[in-house]
Structure formats: structure tokens, C-alpha cells
Amino acid sequence: MREMSFTDRWLALWILLAMAVGLLLGRFVPGLNAALESVKIGGISVPIAIGLLVMMYPVLAKVRYDETRRIGADRRLLVTSLALNWIVGPALMFSLAWLFLADLPEYRTGLIIVGLARCIAMVFVWNDLACGDREAAAVLVALNSVFQVLAFGALGWFYLQVLPSWLGLPTASAEFSIGTIVISVLVFLGIPLVAGFLTRLIGERVKGRTWYEGRFLPEVGPWALYGLLFTIVLLFALQGEAITTSPLDVARIALPLLLYFTLMFLGSLFLARGVGLNYAKSTTVAFTAAGNNFELAIAVAIGTFGVTSGQALAGVVGPLIEVPVLVALVYVSLWLGKRLFPNDATVPAR
């Protein structure tokens, strides 16, 4: 602990404080919600986009892109991640939504949409904090982003209309904008990925890898956490009033989300270990499977059902639960690492 920076040492506390500050701002500052919502380009919140880009750039600048080709050749890694993200994850969220919110169709639909939006942003931060494989994270997020563009609409139709009809359950009608999904992927993954790749390419050519990783990265590294905290404050400020005025509804939505994130992470970690992946890659698979693209889920819910809809509220509650749970799972992964992966060189020493 003494070797960690002040910010890193108390990260969990800063995140909780950022959530609290955001909720208070959204609840008690008149017009803040409307002001933040008005700054949009193509349905994307500009302030939140800035926070996410600042958060993701340092992490993607750390990736050794010359090693991603080797990672991409690991079929166990790719197949495991795709199966977890596009078969297990949506099916688990569908089951939990119907189990806990059968009498609340709007919230249930919102949760199912959250389950379809696979993570392409904050997963880099959680993975980095847990000492996961950065190169594997870059490959998996890019791969899942392609699948997100191709599969999101089809899976939404399947889980909201086809499967409920087969099971004799009420169906929900929703039309998903492919444009919204493409923009989300390009903004939240494409921009920081290109920036990180070019920074490493130019930095290593001009100054060398030793300078780049020993001098440059330590300087820009803390900005990932600053961007994370800024994003959290903005996100909860946008929906602070909705969350604080509907505590019982939030609690109903929170329970299946809590179970989802926990089950997806632990199940993915054990599955990855079972197929022979080391600690670093198993941790990366677990975080990419457990995390969700909350910005896409909220944008789709608002665009389809309206900003005041129950579906939108369910999307907003997603990060309210995801952020503290995945922070806790960072510590869980580090604790489990020494027990599940003995003598594994990728397990952090402390």
C-alpha cells in the first residue's frame, strides 16, 4: 500500500464519493440534467464521451500492439469470450430479468437491453487494475465490438419477441438503430484505440520503448482514473433525480444486476481457468464478459422508449450497480488469483 500513489490507494473511496457527488448534483442543482443532456452529437453525450476518452486513452496507450497478433491466434481465448458475451451473458440477463421483474415489463425490457450491450469502455480500467492481459483485452474488445454491430439488433429481436413468444410470455416491441450502435463503437473504442496505437508507434520510434514505458506511460497513466471519476460524476448527475426519487424501483432493478455481474465474472473466471488460460487472460475474459456498455444501453433505451421511460431508468441503474461491483471484483480477482492459479507467473505478487 505504501508503494501505491495516493489516488490508487483509495480508489474505491474516490469512486463511491464520485457516485455520491453525481447523485447530489443531479438531485439538487436545478437544470443541470437538462444542460448536460442538451450537449449531444448524434445521440452521444459529449461530456460523457470526453470522460470516457480521457479514461481509455492511457490504458490503450499501454497496449503492446505488436503482441496482439499472437493473442488473436489463441482460439481458446476468442471462442471462450465470444460464447460468454453473446450466448451466456444475454441468456443470463434475460432469465434474471424475468425472474425478478416479471410484473414490471418496462424495467425488464431495460435490463435485457443492458445484457445485450457488451462492454467496450470501462473494462480496460477494471482489467488494468486487476493486472489482466492488456493485449488480450484490446483484441477481445475489438472482436466483441464487431459482433455488437452485427448481433445487437438480431439478439434484441430474439430476446424481446421470439423467445418470450416461444415460452408463452408477453413480448416487447423495439426497433434498434444500427447507426447508434456503430457510433457508440466508433466513439468509445475507435478514437482512443487509434490514439493509443499512434502514440505507442510514434513514441517508440522517436524515443524507444524504454523511454516510452518508463517515462511517458507513468505520466499519462493517472489520467485513466481521473477520466473514470469524471465520467462517474457526470453519469450520476444526469440521472440523479430519477434515481433518488425512485429508491424502491432502483432496489428492484439492482438485485438482478448484482447477481448478473457477480455470476458472469466468477463463472467466466472459472471457465477460462478450466480451458487452460492463465491468470492474466482469465481475468481479462471475466471482466470483458461481466461488463456492459452502459452508454449504448441508455442511448438505445432513450431513443426507443423515451427519456422518462422505465427502460431508460433500468439502463441508468446499470452503471450504478456495475461500477462498485466491478471495483469489488478487482479485489476478488487479485485474492482468487493466488488460490486458483498457483505458480502462475502472471499473478501479481501483491
The dihedrals phi and psi of 45, each to the nearest 5 degrees, come to -70, 120
| Domain contains 344 | no
Q: For the residues 273-288, what does the mean pLDDT come to?
A: 94
For residue 115, being part of any structural domain is answered with yes
Top-confidence range, 102-111, 182-191, 240-249, 317-326: 102-111
Q: Assess whether pLDDT exceeds 60 at residue 3.
A: no
Mean pLDDT of the chain: 84
Residue 131 lies in a domain: yes
Residue 349 included in any domain: no
Greater model confidence, 284 or 33: 284
In a domain, 1, yes or no: no
DSSP state of 308: T
Number of structural domains (the chain) is 1
Cell of 312: 431508460
Domain residues for the domain of 88 are: 9-339
Return the CATH number at 281. 1.20.1530.20
Does residue 191 sit within a domain? yes
Q: Tell me which amino acid residue 95 is.
A: S
Q: Is residue 238 within 8 Å of 26, Cβ to Cβ? A: yes
4 belongs to a structural domain: no
Element (H, E) at 231: helix 223-238
Helices 105-116 and 134-157: crossing angle, nearest 10°?
A: 140
Tell me the sheet residues that pair with 40: 45
Residue 128 has pLDDT above 80, yes or no: yes
Instruction: Give the pLDDT confidence score for residue 132 in this predicted structure.
Output: 92
Residue found by looking up cell 443531479 in the block? 26
Mind giving me the DSSP string for 7-74?
HHHTHHHHHHHHHHHHHHHHHHSTTHHHHHHH-EETTEEHHHHHHHHHHHHHHHHH--GGGHHHHHT-
Percent of the chain with pLDDT over 70: 90
25 inside domain:
yes
Radius of gyration of the chain (CA): 20
The Cα–Cα gap between 160 and 175 comes to: 11
The per-residue pLDDT for range 155-193, each reduced to its tens digit, is 888 998 899 999 888 887 766 666 777 777 777 778 888
What b/e string do you get for 19-42 counting C-beta neighbours within 10 Å, with b at 16 or more? bebbbebbbeeeebbeebeeeeee
Q: Of the given ranges (57-61, 97-101, 268-272, 277-281), which has the lowest mean pLDDT?
A: 57-61
Lowest mean pLDDT among 114-118, 140-144, 202-206, 307-311: 307-311
pLDDT of residue 350: 66
Burial readout 155-180 (b: 16 or more C-beta within 10 A, e: otherwise): bbebbbeebbeeeeeeebebebeeeb
Whole-structure pTM value: 0.82
